[in-house]
A and B are shown apart, each in its own frame.
Chain A
Amino acid sequence: AQSVAQPEDQVNVAEGNPLTVKCTYSVSGNPYLFWYVQYPNRGLQFLLKYITGDNLVKGSYGFEAEFNKSQTSFHLKKPSALVSDSALYFCAVRDMPAYKLSFGAGTTVTVRA
Chain B
Amino acid sequence: NAGVTQTPKFQVLKTGQSMTLQCAQDMNHEYMSWYRQDPGMGLRLIHYSVGAGITDQGEVPNGYNVSRSTTEDFPLRLLSAAPSQTSVYFCASSYSMEQNTEAFFGQGTRLTVV
Contacts and interface: CB of A to CB of B under 8 A. Distances in A.
B105 interface: yes
B43 interface: yes
Given A94-B99, A105-B40, A44 B90 contact: yes
A98 B102 contact: no
A44 B31 CA distance: 17
B100 interface: yes
Given A32-B99, A44-B90, A99 B31 contact: yes
Dominant secondary structure of chain A at its interface with chain B: loop
A100 B45 contact: yes
A101 B44 CA distance: 9
A106 B90 CA distance: 15
A49 B23 CA distance: 25
A72 B4 CA distance: 32
A97 B97 CA distance: 9
A56 interface: no
Nearest to A4: B42
Contact of B42 (A43, A90, A95, A100): A90
Contacts of B82: none
Nearest to B96: A98
B61 interface: no
A105 B97 CA distance: 23
Interface string A85-98: 00000100011101
A103 interface: yes
B45 A32 contact: no
B104 interface: yes
6 contacts: A32-B99, A43-B90, A44-B92, A49-B100, A94-B99, A105-B40
List the 5 shortest-distance A-B pairs measured between CB atoms, nearest first.
A103-B42, A43-B105, A44-B105, A32-B99, A51-B100
